[in-house]
A and B are shown apart, each in its own frame.
Chain A
């Protein structure tokens, strides 16, 4: 099939230009909606759009078909400008059955006017129960204000293939290709790439299905959109946060990744397991996280700064070794792709619950560097940064990502790796035996160390209190000096940091402070309120330990300061919680202690990213409560999806 054979959309359908749109594919797991969504995301990125795609993951591993728990798929938000988060209500939803839609409705994924392109075969199902459920749903959806379009997907697929359950996703993609007036040749190319490994037959059949879906849409749909596009000339890559962490690891010249499988971190190691060898490294799957961390400590000691990748429960197990790495001043990178906690918690879900554990999770005084990327691009660059920090400051660096970044896909400028990013080779020069292995500079706490094999450097690293020569030392002044030296390193790093940039005006009514993956949603909420004249700004922190400088100064320029986080806090007005017993969100704890400002917080643990509309509503409520107008322009926040 050549793209030329695609029929032109009927000229009677006017194309509606939109600034951005959110499209979802949802189905039972195994029906390929993820593939369709990913392809749409890639094509949108290729077409020059800003894109954020997020996976819709079923609540169960083997969910029954046609069940709420089974919703599986992909959400693609594409826009003219950079897209930084998953957004609010979807504009268009392609669904293979009506049941999976309920779980999306439960989490507020749709809005009034959401167009649902629904497989209509259930209307003629053999089972009376199925037919009735389908009919009920259509009525119900109509009542809530969704715009349901019944589509004979399988029936149409059957004109091309015998088993319509395989390939229906591609037919649907063809329909969406017409719907958004996407470049057919680009879709075909990406489809070919994606399915190449499955053989020529599969590719050929898929191209036919794509074309069939396209033609059907052209002949039957009465509406069509075109998402505006800003010209881009830079080379871009598109990937999810875990892939970015993996590629960042490779770009950092890290040769050792030791890990133990844990959701949602594992896919970082999966990628590295395939690719780290291409840059001369390897992945060690240890017998547990303690061992993975011990292996990393050993590699660091022997001169190879390693990475170990984990999530909450694994971070807990690594704790004793993290303390040792601080004590012995060994450079290594710990990536924590946070999930819902505590304990086994919500393995596949989003939470920012490990911040305080990362900072204070070890007994004794264990100062260490903690950073958190807030975009997919930062996931890549922060590993390079983390490795350098680990080596310069001789200690573990914890990088906090989360399940939102892990599965979210976003295009960004193609990085240009260079030698300076790679870790230096193991030092083989002689070591001056007069220089102790912990020659702490009294001002900076910094020192350099001999690595095993270096002549003249033999010494014993120990987790016991030790002096500059690494000799076990129980004397009070030595202990004081050593602990101070390790602590001093954070002060030294702090001095080299800049105050965070303020998103919005540098003074006003309300300042929102965030960290990690919430950046896009917070800034979008702030922008919407600012567009209506609300005096809201935000600050996003990349360094959590040490915290970035100048915070108290910034905070004083706002009437109110609050954090927005995806972890637990007691609400201020909760009548069951005495004021003095109130537990704050984790960054708020830190900021209150650090700045002595009355930092408020609003946090939730929905297991999902906070949509910008939800944050916006909360911020507006705060402003309204103190009588400051945050007048909302017409309509609900989702109104942005409307035509430009």
Chain B
């Protein structure tokens, strides 16, 4: 990007935006890390939608995946471990104009940030939330996460994780006012892209769980699923991700799933034999808190002062 003539850079609004316009600093994830694919997917979305880098904000927590904002050229906020959602809510509250993305990890979202996860779903403020679930704490070097399978060895559980993992999809689908839940994986880029596109267009909070490979600490962890197409269940529906011509080959297991059916979505989410990929639930009519928080935006100074005078008069003696 910096190699482009300055005039081009300056006038990003006036010309076609290219992938290079969204390049941040060079990613420092391990080779083969699923986060690389995720980054490319979001960059392509911004390019495809021709969203100027200065109109987008990516908020993240702390973790390998939360390094994301540094590697993409938009406004970014690399915040605190577990707390990207409150920050994003604060951004959204008075800024309906910005394109807002949240990047979080399985430790970030499902352990330290659990309260915010639950409540952000209920607030349903418009943003695209991507949970990068590598089933491990990457950044801090391989500790058990709430999604680590039972028996999985880590530095905090060298004998194997003592408990069964929690299911982020089931949990999210059981929260009041949930409006969009999807699952994808870093190794199916086309699918990933169509999910992110759907999520970005969703009028509310879109929650995407991304199954993410961590070759550094969880080498071959997803391989049994990745290499066995029968363990991946493709969800298709005109209201979710529509069926594609070449689905057949990549995904022998397919299910036509109406994403407006919450009960079915919960059933699908809790299946243990297959990993569903697709939009599990979508309700474009859920209540949106960000519509409330934006009320009064743009009130003039004169109106504010007049209201203030009325307020003070109530206290006059």
Contacts and interface: CB of A to CB of B under 8 A. Distances in A.
A and B are interacting partners: yes
B114 to A, nearest CB: 10
B90 interface: yes
A457 interface: yes
Contact of A463 (B80, B89, B115): B80
B315 A239 contact: yes
A295 B93 contact: yes
B266 interface: no
Contact of B75 (A255, A321, A422, A458): A458
B93 A298 contact: yes
A243 B25 CA distance: 48
Contacts of A238: 315, 317
A247 interface: yes
A458 B297 contact: no
Contact of B89 (A295, A418, A419): A295
Contacts of A463: 62, 78-80
Contacts of A301: 77, 87, 90-91
Interface stretch (B47-55, B160-168, B172-180, B206-214): B47-55
Interface string A255-291: 1101000000000000000010111111010111011
A433 B7 CA distance: 12
B293 interface: yes
A532 to B, nearest CB: 34
Contacts of B309: 417
A459 B75 contact: yes
Interface in B275-317: 292-293, 295-299, 301, 303-305, 307-312, 315-317
B137 to A, nearest CB: 18
Contacts of A135: none
Interface stretch (B66-74, B143-151, B257-265): B66-74
Contact of B293 (A282, A296, A453, A460): A282
A321 B74 CA distance: 23
B12 interface: yes
Contacts, number: 204
A368 interface: no
A58 interface: no
Given A321-B83, A422-B301, A452-B54, A460 B24 contact: yes
A324 B10 CA distance: 31
Contacts of B75: 452-453, 457-460
B88 to A, nearest CB: 6
A194 to B, nearest CB: 12
Interface in B41-67: 52-55, 57, 59, 62
B91 A280 contact: no
B116 A287 contact: yes
Interface residues of B, number: 61
Contacts of A292: 86
B94 A458 contact: no
B93 A299 contact: yes
B119 interface: yes
Contacts of A303: 94-95
A251 B305 CA distance: 8
B95 A294 contact: no
A320 to B, nearest CB: 6
A299 B86 CA distance: 10
B9 interface: yes
A280 to B, nearest CB: 3
A456 B277 CA distance: 38
A183 to B, nearest CB: 13
A433 B12 CA distance: 13
A191 B74 CA distance: 59
A297 interface: yes
A256 B90 CA distance: 9
List the 6 shortest-distance A-B pairs measured between CB atoms, nearest first: A298-B90, A294-B86, A280-B299, A280-B296, A460-B76, A237-B315
6 contacts: A237-B315, A237-B317, A280-B303, A286-B119, A291-B119, A459-B76
